[in-house]
């Protein structure tokens, strides 16, 4: 596995600090997570390289591609891959223990339509995702960066919306979900202002949780406590 981020340099060779949507908090991997990476990486892991992926080569077929950014421990991603064998799934997560947990779950479930990367998804998009090739992009419960002075770290922003649009097929969907109301409003604001998208909601800005997005334990607990979850789908229309 390669490094999770790469640095940019000025012409004089100085490192340029990028504003990222995450902080490195590696933590220890359990034996199971480490073992799953060692065992499964050659079949299911994709290393970061500055070269566009060829989906047919990656998955061995031309099924629609669903990409998920920040899958956490991967439980819902593995479940979705299991439920939709007619689609291909690529999960991108910077947190190595999460990648290990996802691979362990994928192995246990026996899914063959799932690949994972351990790298900054923004860099993966810029360097490896071909134009007009992604049918759905999923971003579930991204770090909300609560404090106003940290809002610049939120992954959903104008440049991000602009960068991912050409990667989606025409009619492709960007599906977001958050349990933080202020972030849901921010998502709507950014996406409404971004050219080339339309909100698919017919009643207000939000949609009910679609069946394809599994309910997580964390979310079920939130429901019981009366917390809200906002699902948002924007379609590429130009």
Ligand X SMILES: C[S@@+](CC[C@H](N)C(=O)[O-])C[C@H]1O[C@@H](n2cnc3c(N)ncnc32)[C@H](O)[C@@H]1O
**Catalytic residue IDs:** 143
User: Six-digit token pair at 29?
Assistant: 């991997």
* Closer to ligand X by Cβ: residue 126 or 170: 126
β-strands 134-140, 114-117: how paired?
unpaired
Chosen residue from 66, 92, 104, 128 binding ligand X by CB under 6 A: 92
Among 37, 174, 216, 229, binds ligand X (CB under 6 A): 216
Residues 107-166 binding ligand X (CB under 6 A) are: 120-122, 140-143, 155
* Site for ligand X contains 176 (CB under 6 A): no
3-state SS assignment for residue 50: coil
Among 55, 59, 71, 234, binds ligand X (CB under 6 A): 71
Q: Which residue has the tokens 């000025």?
A: 10
Member of 22, 89, 180, 230 binding ligand X (CB under 6 A)? 22
- Say how far apart CA 89 and CA 86 lie, in whole Å: 10
Q: Which is nearer to ligand X, 79 or 120 (CB)?
A: 120
Residue 94 binding ligand X, by CB under 6 A: yes
Least distance from C-beta 110 to ligand X, angstroms? 22
Instruction: Between 61 and 68, name the residue whose CB sits nearer to ligand X.
Output: 68
Phi, psi of 122 (to 5 degrees): -65, -45
Pull the structure tokens for residue 93. 């997560």
Q: Give the span between the Cα atoms of 224 and 26, in whole angstroms.
A: 31
Measured from the CB atom, the residue of 35 and 214 that comes closer to ligand X is 214
Q: Does 95 bind ligand X (CB under 6 A)?
A: yes
Sequence-distant (6+) residues with CB within 8 A of 156 are: 139, 142, 176, 183, 186, 187, 190, 191
Residue burial 214-232, b: 16+ Cβ < 10 Å; e: rest? bebeebeeeeeeeeebbbb
Query: Closest separation between CB of residue 21 and ligand X, Å?
Result: 4
Cite the annotated binding site by residue number: 68, 93, 120, 143, 147, 179, 216-219
């Amino acid at each position: 596995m390669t490094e999770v981020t790469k640095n940019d340099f000025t012409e004089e060779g100085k490192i340029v600090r990028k504003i990222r949507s995450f902080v490195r908090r590696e933590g220890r991997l359990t034996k199971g997570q480490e073992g799953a990476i060692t065992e499964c990486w050659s079949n299911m892991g994709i290393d970061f390289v500055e070269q566009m992926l060829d989906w047919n080569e990656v998955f061995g077929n031309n099924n629609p591609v669903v990409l998920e950014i920040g899958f956490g421990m991967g439980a819902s991603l593995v479940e979705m891959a299991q439920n939709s064998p007619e689609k291909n799934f690529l999960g991108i997560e910077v947190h190595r223990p999460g990648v290990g947990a996802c691979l362990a779950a994928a192995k246990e479930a026996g899914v063959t339509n799932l690949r994972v990367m351990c790298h900054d998804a923004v860099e993966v998009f810029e360097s490896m995702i071909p134009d007009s090739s992604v049918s759905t992009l999923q971003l579930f419960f991204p770090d909300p960066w609560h404090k106003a002075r940290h809002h610049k770290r939120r992954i959903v922003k104008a440049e991000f919306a602009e960068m991912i649009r050409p990667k989606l097929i025409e009619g492709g969907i960007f599906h977001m979900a958050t349990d933080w109301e202020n972030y849901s409003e921010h998502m709507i604001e950014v996406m409404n202002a971004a050219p080339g998208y339309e909100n698919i909601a017919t009643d207000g800005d939000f949609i009910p949780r679609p069946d394809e997005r599994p309910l997580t334990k964390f979310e079920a607990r939130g429901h019981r406590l009366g917390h809200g979850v906002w699902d948002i789908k924007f379609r590429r229309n130009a």
